[in-house]
Amino acid sequence: MTTENDQLPLDSVENTQKETDYYLEIEEGALPEYGVTPKRKYGEKTVKGIIIGRGENKRVISIDEVKKLASLHLTYKDMADFFQVRETTFRDNFRSVVEQSRQTTKQRLMEAMLESAIVKQNPTILVWVSKNLLNWTDNPINTDNNTVLPWNAETESELE
């Protein structure tokens, strides 16, 4: 019979180190002072991507992150600002990746739209697809019979 006071088995480890959390105490309605930051843990991370820039402006930009932002149809300026590089530099290095991701998004959107129209029978999408893909219209115009018949007073009196 064992009690709680018995020693732990050899394969277990007792953690005597206590972690403490630090919180900023801010009075209600008061703003925190600038420069006061909570304790942070810092680490290193290896990023695989394309190296852009030189010297202090050198950045490593992950192609996966570019694909993710481009699939959301962000502008080149927005993506360049996100990665903190010049727009022209970003565009020159990532144009093919961005265009391919945008095309993929358009294709996925078209698939979802057609599935909603055909499989789920969504009437709104059915009408939209009919008008845009099949060139249907609400006001059909017959171009063969668009000419106005000649009106002549003499022919009117003959018909009476």
**Residue 115 near residue 121, CB atoms below 8 Å:** no
| Structure-token pair, residue 126 | 């059915």
111 neighbors 105 (Cβ within 8 angstroms): no
| Cross-strand partners of 61 | 50
Paired strand residues for 59: 52
The identity of residue 141, as a single letter, is I
In whole angstroms, give the CA distance from residue 106 to residue 78. 19
pLDDT digits 0-9 by tens, 94-152: 999 999 999 999 999 999 999 999 999 999 999 988 888 888 888 777 666 666 666 77
Residue 9's pLDDT is what? 47
pLDDT of residue 145: 65
Domain boundaries along the sequence of the chain: 50-137
Distance between CA atoms of residues 125 and 131, nearest Å: 10
Confidence of residue 55 (pLDDT cuts 50, 70, 90): confident
| Phi, psi of 126, deg, nearest 5 | -60, -45
Predicted TM-score of the model (pTM)? 0.57
- Asked if 97 and 63 touch (Cβ cutoff 8 Å), the reply is yes
Query: What's the rounded mean pLDDT across residues 26-54?
Result: 76
In whole angstroms, what is the distance from residue 25 CA to residue 36 CA?
11
